[in-house]
Chains A and B, each alone.
Chain A
């Protein structure tokens, strides 16, 4: 088997906080996390808010808050992601699709935002190709973010993140608050990336989204990876799921039992 694109082993993230005066305390964020993502694979990381899944993205990208301390190892294509290596690969080989469309610059036309980081000689040609790929009409390039609908902004975000040289895409909560067709479109774009050989780390709390695109689903809780499930096991009453927490999550969906812990709920 070929080397994984991303290999995280024994990752610890903690925060040093001032308690009172100069006394500090250390608050754990992630503890002993191991995971791997292969070429062409979509791995979903599922967890509640506060489970540490966004910290995982931040640790890979090197954008943790200043008071964070990290331990363990993050390998990208077989070698360590040092700060120097990050500056070379971020945006070229590793790209990040942020959660919120407010990450776009409100004062810059979206076409120019898609050209950022591209070689000047080919930038406009690549921009046109990306627009075509994400079903954005050419005249949209001159518009500003506030002139576009939420769905178009999502597609612009993809166009700003996707480059021919990209090997790993980290998508942080790309689906909440979108209607069903828009969610399906986001997932289709992630699938296309994986088919072209990109490794995709999909961070989400949306179980249905995770299960419909990923083959494996890593479930996080309170900073730990509690179980790695296959997407196929999220079916029926969840009896095929290995870990009780994964079963509880599945059964809590409104289309299943809508139970906050075990039993069916009746309105």
Chain B
């Protein structure tokens, strides 16, 4: 059981190839960190793993099956900027429902207050909004999570609290996780293994 990319090639239109022949594997139940300076393809790799963009060569398989194109994707991406990941005109209850009926217990564990459900994204702070994006990604069919600078905008206490609770849920469900971050101390803390994106070219 693993999230696997094999012989993956990708370039943005008109740009030089970002990946030639990249292979990479995340076992279910493990946490893998991706490191590298800005502009070296970390976020692109995250989007490829989650199926948000399609590789030119090679492919992504999830527990042996190719990543579905039109059905629910078992690899869920959590972005650095939650305000860009939600519909700004919806109330938060609708933002959650777009994914699934998130159990109240999950909301509680992620520190989401019931009264926030009636608000719209503009009426929440970035940290509050990000908790909804995490809750939404924890669909029952989710097998892997990709967290792209997920807590870069949080203060230290909130960052620690969110990671503790999310990793608890990840462990309970046996999910695999890819963590993209500039913060090496964070990766040292939470990852079983770290991969430099430059080595994947």
Between-chain CB contacts (< 8 Å), 13 pairs: A48-B157, A49-B126, A49-B127, A50-B127, A149-B38, A149-B39, A177-B149, A179-B37, A205-B153, A253-B185, A255-B185, A258-B163, A265-B164
| B189 contacts partner chain A, Cβ-Cβ < 8 Å | yes
Q: What are the residues of chain B within 8 A of A151 when measuring CB–CB?
A: 38
Q: What are the residues of chain A within 8 A of B87 when measuring CB–CB?
A: none
Please measure, in the bound complex, the distance between the C-alpha atom of A259 and the C-alpha atom of B188, giving whole angstroms.
15
Please measure, in the bound complex, the distance between the C-alpha atom of A249 and the C-alpha atom of B154, giving whole angstroms.
11
Closest chain A CB from B27 CB (angstroms): 16
Q: A48-B127, A49-B126, A260-B160 are in contact. Are A180 and B184 (CB under 8 A)?
A: yes
Q: What are the residues of chain B within 8 A of A176 when measuring CB–CB?
A: 152-153
Q: Please tell me if the beta carbons of A261 and B182 are within 8 angstroms of each other in the complex.
A: no
Chain A, Cβ-Cβ closest to B165 = A260
A-B complex: 7 closest residue pairs judged by Cβ atoms: A48-B155, A260-B161, A255-B185, A252-B156, A254-B189, A254-B185, A252-B160
Scan residues 247-267 of chain A and give those whose CB is less than 8 A from a CB of chain B: 248-250, 252-255, 258-261, 265, 267
Chain B, Cβ-Cβ closest to A182 = B38
Q: A49-B126, A150-B38 are in contact. Are A179 and B158 (CB under 8 A)?
A: no
Chain A, Cβ-Cβ closest to B192 = A267
Chain B, Cβ-Cβ closest to A261 = B157
Q: Please tell me if the beta carbons of A180 and B125 are within 8 angstroms of each other in the complex.
A: no
| A181 contacts partner chain B, Cβ-Cβ < 8 Å | yes
Q: Please tell me if the beta carbons of B186 and A260 are within 8 angstroms of each other in the complex.
A: no
Prevailing SS type, chain B contact patch: helix
Q: What are the residues of chain A within 8 A of B161 when measuring CB–CB?
A: 260-261
Q: Please tell me if the beta carbons of A254 and B153 are within 8 angstroms of each other in the complex.
A: no
Question: Most A CB atoms within 10 A — which of B155, B158, B159, B163?
Answer: B155
| A178 contacts partner chain B, Cβ-Cβ < 8 Å | yes
| B183 contacts partner chain A, Cβ-Cβ < 8 Å | yes
| A136 contacts partner chain B, Cβ-Cβ < 8 Å | no
Chain A, Cβ-Cβ closest to B130 = A49
| B190 contacts partner chain A, Cβ-Cβ < 8 Å | yes
Chain A, Cβ-Cβ closest to B127 = A49
Count, A-B residue pairs, CB within 8 A = 83
Please measure, in the bound complex, the distance between the C-alpha atom of A9 and the C-alpha atom of B163, giving whole angstroms.
38
Q: What are the residues of chain A within 8 A of B36 when measuring CB–CB?
A: 179
How many positions in chain A have a CB within 8 Å of any CB in the partner chain?
30
Prevailing SS type, chain A contact patch: loop
**Which positions in B face A, CB cutoff 8 Å?**
36-39, 80, 125-128, 149, 152-161, 163-164, 167, 182-186, 188-190
Q: Please tell me if the beta carbons of A177 and B154 are within 8 angstroms of each other in the complex.
A: no
Please measure, in the bound complex, the distance between the C-alpha atom of A217 and the C-alpha atom of B7, giving whole angstroms.
49
Q: Please tell me if the beta carbons of B159 and A267 are within 8 angstroms of each other in the complex.
A: no
Please measure, in the bound complex, the distance between the C-alpha atom of A267 and the C-alpha atom of B190, giving whole angstroms.
7
**Which positions in A face B, CB cutoff 8 Å?**
47-51, 149-151, 176-182, 205, 207, 248-250, 252-255, 258-261, 265, 267
Q: What are the residues of chain A within 8 A of B184 when measuring CB–CB?
A: 180
Q: Please tell me if the beta carbons of A267 and B167 are within 8 angstroms of each other in the complex.
A: yes
Please measure, in the bound complex, the distance between the C-alpha atom of A150 and the C-alpha atom of B38, giving whole angstroms.
8
Q: Please tell me if the beta carbons of A178 and B182 are within 8 angstroms of each other in the complex.
A: yes
Interface residue from A150, A177, A180, A265 paired with B80 (Cβ < 8 Å): A177
Q: A182-B38, A254-B185 are in contact. Are A177 and B155 (CB under 8 A)?
A: no
Please measure, in the bound complex, the distance between the C-alpha atom of A261 and the C-alpha atom of B164, giving whole angstroms.
12
Q: Please tell me if the beta carbons of B38 and A205 are within 8 angstroms of each other in the complex.
A: no
Q: What are the residues of chain B within 8 A of A207 when measuring CB–CB?
A: 156
Chain B, Cβ-Cβ closest to A255 = B185
Chain B, Cβ-Cβ closest to A265 = B164
Q: What are the residues of chain A within 8 A of B152 when measuring CB–CB?
A: 176-177
Q: What are the residues of chain B within 8 A of A250 when measuring CB–CB?
A: 156
Q: A48-B154, A177-B80 are in contact. Are A254 and B186 (CB under 8 A)?
A: yes
Q: A49-B127, A49-B155, A260-B157 are in contact. Are A181 and B37 (CB under 8 A)?
A: yes
Interface residue from B125, B160, B189 paired with A50 (Cβ < 8 Å): B125
Please measure, in the bound complex, the distance between the C-alpha atom of A258 and the C-alpha atom of B163, giving whole angstroms.
9
Please measure, in the bound complex, the distance between the C-alpha atom of A151 and the C-alpha atom of B39, giving whole angstroms.
10
Q: Please tell me if the beta carbons of B80 and A205 are within 8 angstroms of each other in the complex.
A: no
Please measure, in the bound complex, the distance between the C-alpha atom of A198 and the C-alpha atom of B130, giving whole angstroms.
36
Q: A150-B39, A254-B188 are in contact. Are A179 and B182 (CB under 8 A)?
A: yes
Please measure, in the bound complex, the distance between the C-alpha atom of A182 and the C-alpha atom of B182, giving whole angstroms.
11
Q: What are the residues of chain B within 8 A of A205 when measuring CB–CB?
A: 153-156
